[in-house]
Amino acid sequence: MTDPAIYQQIVDGSPDAFILGDREGRIRIWNAGAEAIFGFTAAEALGQSMDIIIPERLRGRHWDGYMKTMQTGKSRYGAGDVLAVPAITKDGRNISIEFTIQMLRTAGGELLGPLAIIRDVTKRFQRERELARRVKELEAKAGA
């Protein structure tokens, strides 16, 4: 089944963000999941630098890796590797995200850019951090 309308429904209806960056790092795909996670509408995000969701302190490292990926056509993150990083929303909140990368190419093989499929894991990250804090606290009491 290769009906393009089915694929469009998957991307448009996913609660996960689908974000495609072009060779220069401008946003070319921004679905409803991206709107829900990051707060920017497609009209606000499309054509913008991915800096709108990357915390300032991480931008240098991000762009170094991004440009290397665009030059080589390969990401250092293999297919299926799940990456976990902080991100920022339109209203300036810090969130925790996990994502996978897929390198997209034209029918002729030319690199279009990386497609990131992103999930907001902020609540889980906060629960895990709180559990780790409580374990450390209990271990300190047990050792006293």
CA distances from 73 to 23, 77, 78, 84 (A): 10, 12, 12, 22
How much is the average pLDDT of 48-61? Answer: 97
DSSP SS3 for 88? strand
Rounded Cα gap, residues 32 and 16, in angstroms: 8
Confidence at residue 53, expressed as pLDDT on a 0 to 100 scale: 98
Which amino acid, one-letter code, is at 86? P
Full-model pTM: 0.85
How much is the average pLDDT of 47-52? Answer: 98
Local confidence band at 117 (pLDDT 50, 70, 90 cut-offs): very high
Residue 128 has pLDDT above 80, yes or no: yes
Q: Alpha-carbon Rg of the chain, whole angstroms?
A: 18
Rounded Cα gap, residues 23 and 113, in angstroms: 5
Which residues span the domain enclosing 129?
4-143
Rounded Cα gap, residues 144 and 142, in angstroms: 6
Local confidence band at 125 (pLDDT 50, 70, 90 cut-offs): confident
What's the CATH number where 124 sits? 3.30.450.20
Local confidence band at 79 (pLDDT 50, 70, 90 cut-offs): low
Residue 1 has pLDDT above 70, yes or no: no
Number of domains the chain is built from: 1
Local confidence band at 78 (pLDDT 50, 70, 90 cut-offs): low
If phi over 0 gives left and psi between -120 and 50 gives alpha, with beta otherwise, what is residue 115? beta
